[in-house]
Structures are given as C-alpha cells and as structure tokens.
Amino acid sequence: MKKLILIFAFGLISAGAFAQAPLEEGGVQLNAGLGLSGWGVPVYFGLDYGIAKDFTLGGQLSFQTDDDPYHYNNTDYHYNSTAIGIGANGNYHFNRILDMPSKFDFYAGASLTYYIWNYDDYNNNPHPDNTSLGLGLQVGGRYFFTDKFGINLELGGNTGTSGAKFGVTFKI
C-alpha cells in the first residue's frame, strides 16, 4: 500500500514538474479575455506559436467600444466609437534564464496592430484615439494550473488594449 501511495504521489508531482511553459518550438496556444484601456473594455482573442527556444510569434483580434460624452467650446458632444484590432506580436520568454518553475511563463515583447474604426458624433468627428496603426510594448505572465490550461495577465501600452489584459490560455 505504501508503494502504491508513493507511486501515485510521484506521478502527481511529476505531472506538475513537466508542464511545458513557456511554449515549446512548434507549439500553439490560444488566449482570450478582457482588457483595460483609456476608453471601453476590449475583448480579445489571440494565438501564439513557438518559433524557437524562448521565442513566440502571435496574432490577435480585439473589439472595443466607447460611448463617451465630452464638452468643448461651451458645446456638449457625444462620441460613439468602435474599433476592431488586427495585430501581430513577438515575445521573448524569460523562464529558462531566470530558472523559473514550469507552471509560470514570464515574457516581454512588442506588437503591431491595425485598427478599423467606426465612429459618429454630432459633428461627425473622429474619436481622438483613432490612429490606424498601434505599435506597443508588453510584459506579461501566465500561470498554468495544468499542462494545457492557465491564466494570463499582460501590461502594455500604445495599443487599443493599452493598460492591461487578463484572460485564459489553452495549449493545443
């Protein structure tokens, strides 16, 4: 009985110890969640692909909307804007050089996103943040509960999801 318990305990410990974080070369993971920005709450969906040891490339789609009243020159205005973001990102994962446990994934990188804006207000003016192209930097981390499922948190700037993103990650 003691041997059976010992084998079972070793199996559980081993399963956690061999979790693959960060993403291995040729591996794919899906990310989805919500973000924080200067306007609206973006919803995002992304995919990461392991291109080499410690490096990933990915893509992301995001959607956000803003219903924002403002006052200018003694006149009240009202923006109603939506943005769809189509982006690419590249990240370096620091787990190996920081000797981090395999349940964690710590990364930093850059992203480039193209935005499709739809806006209207009383004077048909564009939203003040309506740039079509966003170049951003990000730093983030993931915690994996199992080999295939984890949560993620990313901080970044100069994108439609500027501020923070929080969501889930699924390895496929």
For the chain (172 residues), the mean pLDDT of every run of 10, in chain order, is 42 42 88 85 94 96 83 76 90 95 95 84 56 87 96 82 86 94
What pLDDT shows up at residue 9?
Answer: 40
What is the spatial distance between Cα 162 and Cα 156, in angstroms, rounded to a whole number? 5
The three-class DSSP label of residue 49 is strand
3-state secondary structure of 5: helix
Q: Could you tell me if 165 and 34 are in contact, meaning their C-beta atoms sit under 8 angstroms apart?
A: yes
Amino acid letter, residue 125? N
What pLDDT is attached to residue 80? 76
- Structure tokens belonging to residue 131: 């740039």
Residue 12: the pLDDT is: 39
pLDDT of residue 127: 54
CATH entry, 2-171, from 2.30.110.10, 2.40.160.20, 3.90.1150.10, 1.10.40.60: 2.40.160.20
Closest CA to 23 of 111, 152, 137, 112: 152
pTM, 2 dp = 0.76
Q: What is the number of other CB atoms lying within 10 angstroms of the CB of residue 98?
A: 9
The answer to whether the CB of 23 falls within 8 A of the CB of 93 is yes
Domain ranges of the chain: 2-171
